[in-house]
Amino acid sequence: MGSGSVFKCPKCQFKFETHDGIGMMFPTFYHNTVVDAKKGKLGNELKTFFAEHPEGAINAENRTYCCEKCGFLSNETDLTMYLPDESKRGNPSEGYDYVMEADLEDFYIEYAKYPHKCRKCGGSMRLVDYGDDILCPKCHVPLESEGLFLWD
């Protein structure tokens, strides 16, 4: 299941849609993302991670990120890297070509966050916490929610 929200700036009318999750295509998306990571298409961090840890997994869910430098908002694949928690047994993802987010939380240990970089200025991106105000990148005033949507 995927979800999203529409946000609008009350001052300049800037609009942004969040897109969290993937939906029913998650197994295919996860597999293709790992293949691209292993080939180096997603950067050296992931290529090295999978070369050193073939048992590793990533979070392939879409998330919303904000540039810490310029405020640019973007929907990106999470790509946090995980290693299996050897103290846990009964991983439901075992034998599949993908790992669900709930299984990452229950059967894996976070290895490293993926270093997202802003496409506009090159600054570091941080994961948006929906409990905090999301600021307009133009006016720097809090965006107002215009609604929620779900897919799949």
State how far the Cα of 5 lies from the Cα of 74, in Å rounded to an integer: 13
- pLDDT number for residue 93: 77
Q: Which residues of 1-28 are buried (b: 16+ CB within 10 A; e: fewer)?
A: ebebbebbbeeeebebebbbbbeeebee
State how far the Cα of 89 lies from the Cα of 150, in Å rounded to an integer: 33
In the chain, domain spans: 2-151
User: What ranges in 40-152 are assigned the alpha helix state H?
Assistant: 44-52, 101-107
Of 66, 39, 40, the C-alpha closest to 124 is 66
pLDDT tens string for the chain (152 positions)?
678 889 999 999 999 999 888 888 899 999 999 999 999 999 999 999 999 999 999 999 999 999 999 999 999 999 999 999 988 877 777 778 899 999 999 999 999 999 999 999 999 999 998 878 899 999 999 999 998 887 76
Q: Return the residue matching tokens 């299941």.
A: 1
- pLDDT number for residue 1: 67
- pLDDT number for residue 147: 82
Q: Return the residue matching tokens 């293949």.
A: 35
- pLDDT number for residue 2: 76
